[in-house]
Amino acid sequence: MSAARPLTPEEKLADAKAASSIPRIVVICGSTRFMADMAEADLRETAAGRIVVKPGCDMKSPHRLWSDPAEAEALKVRLDALHRAKIRLADEVLVVGDYIGDSTRAEIAYARSLGRPVRFTHPEVDPGA
């Protein structure tokens, strides 16, 4: 008899979420130009009983946290890593908006590489379709 294969961190997380009866987690992706649409999607997903995580910073809007260009670039790197962690945490991805830029395209590819289902508010922009 062979020893059981140890669970991956992702499998452990999925088991813990199931054992805790945690609702599906949806991560919202898309250009921050669609922050208002993301808020609406958050509302609809939450009303449907899902936990929602989404971008928390709109670096296209002025703010003192990213007013210095060097600090802004470092923050962008940290926010990109944080968003990939949100994708790993989530059960599925919802892409908001009718435009897919390079960052969102990379997030979609990352989510799909992890086997996460990806939905679109505008399916015609799906780069994998």
Tell me which long-range contacts 80-87 makes (C-beta under 8 A, separation of at least 24).
83/27, 83/29, 83/55, 83/107, 84/110, 86/27, 86/53, 87/27, 87/29, 87/111, 87/114, 87/116
Determine the pLDDT at residue 14.
87
pLDDT in tens, 107-127: 999 999 999 999 999 999 999
pLDDT in tens, 33-54: 999 999 999 999 999 999 999 9
pTM of the entire predicted model: 0.90
Look at residue 2 and tell me whether its pLDDT is greater than 90: no
Q: State the average pLDDT over residues 63-91.
A: 94
